[in-house]
Amino acid sequence: RNGDGAGLGDWEENKTKLPNGVASLVKEAKNNEVKFGIWIEPEMVNPKSQLYEKHPDWVIKQPKCEEYYFRNQLVLDLTNPKVQDFVFGVVNDLFTKNPELAYIKWDCNAVIYNAYSATLGNQNHFYIEYMRGLYKVLERIRAKYPTVPMMLCSGGGGRVDYAALKYFTEFWPSDNTEPLERIFIQWEYSYFYPAITSSNHVTDWGKQPIKFRTDVAMMGKLGFDIVVSHLKDNDLKYCQDAIKTYNAIKPIIWHGDQYRLANPREGSVASMLYLNEAKTSGVVFNYLVNNRYDEGSKMPIKLKGLDAAKKYVLKELNVYPGTTSSIDATKSYTGDFLMKIGYNPIVNSNRTSVVLQLDEIK
């Protein structure tokens, strides 16, 4: 595609742009020790496409109504078994030609207007049958490719639901990646879905430093949507170290118990704890969300879920290069103390995000 007005639906390699096909990109990524994923939108079609010209009856539209486009797109009719075969074929062909593909982002950026199927008998059942058709496609994909990570996006979080979790490993909760607003989004999202399902990416949105953006994105599945070559040396070093740290603590974030310690809507600081099942290790995320009165975390934050009899130490993670931590990692505290009295992560205008690791000591 050379723009968003044509080509969507024609899932063929553009030999002008990719003379050696997608396989050359997969190979180049592998040579650079990067897994290659692909972003697709197989339910959609541009009216200016070979697919539309060959199969205009595959498109959802009222036969006597003018076509209405959203982002120059129409939606394919997944109540039609032939369309189901086509959509499955899009994914299957990609993996057949490129078996080392490591990831799929499945997008859906247009809503259904003028709902009507040329092949469905009872039009009153259209929306139900559309979703059944989609699930049939996804069941076939998962049967053949059961372990491939798949992220579901739909104009942000338009398709976040439990039924989709049968087929997808994670959601894109929102196109809003501004890190301060993202704290609130991820906080509310966590009432319904675990952190392992939340794709949180570091982007250029917002004026906050890279440390704040990365610390916020760590509260789920961390990713980076930035131009790495534009990063300053210290920012790049910070990100490299943060990824190593994240890989060490992500089992706690993904599979641990979650405890809300300080609600971002009720004060100047947000605080969230993830604790492993044995209550021996945890990660505490702390963020400054409001600095109107230069308040920060002047009062200790009470932890939850700990073993009252165990002793713990806290150390700061993700310390920015050239700075030192304000946290004394040599002191130990009982779980009883941390739950009744609390601990001050020292969040303020100079330390807008503080990530702490909690570990039991014998």
Single-letter residue type at 269: V
Tell me the per-residue pLDDT of 294-316, one tens digit each, with 9 for 90 and over: 888 889 999 999 999 999 999 99
175 is a catalytic site residue: yes
CATH class of 21-255: alpha beta
**77, 107, 215, 235: which is the annotated catalytic residue?**
107
Q: What pLDDT is recorded for position 360?
A: 98
Task: Answer yes or no: are the C-beta atoms of 177 and 204 closer than 8 Å.
Answer: no
Tell me the per-residue pLDDT of 195-239, one tens digit each, with 9 for 90 and over: 999 999 999 999 999 999 999 999 999 999 999 999 999 999 999
Global pTM exceeds 0.85: yes
Q: What pLDDT is recorded for position 176?
A: 96
Q: Which residues of the chain have pLDDT under 50?
A: none
Token pair recorded at residue 169? 């490993």
Q: What pLDDT is recorded for position 298?
A: 86
Domain ranges within the chain, ordered by starting residue: 21-255, 258-361
Alpha-carbon distance 174 to 179, whole Å? 12
CATH class of 258-361: mainly beta
Asked if the domains at 21-255 and 258-361 fall in one CATH topology, the answer is no
Place of tokens 């339910």: 43
Q: What pLDDT is recorded for position 295?
A: 80
Q: What pLDDT is recorded for position 292?
A: 82
**175, 204, 225, 328: which is the annotated catalytic residue?**
175
Alpha-carbon distance 161 to 206, whole Å? 28
Q: Which of 253, 232, 216 is nearest to 224 (CA)?
A: 216
85 is a catalytic site residue: no
Neighbouring residues of 259: CB distance < 8 A, sequence distance ≥ 6? 272, 273, 274, 275, 303, 304, 305
Q: What pLDDT is recorded for position 293?
A: 79
| Number of CB atoms found within 10 A of residue 19's CB | 9
Q: What pLDDT is recorded for position 233?
A: 98
Q: What pLDDT is recorded for position 285?
A: 99
Mean of per-residue pLDDT scores for the chain? 96
Q: What pLDDT is recorded for position 142?
A: 98
At 134 the three-state DSSP class reads helix
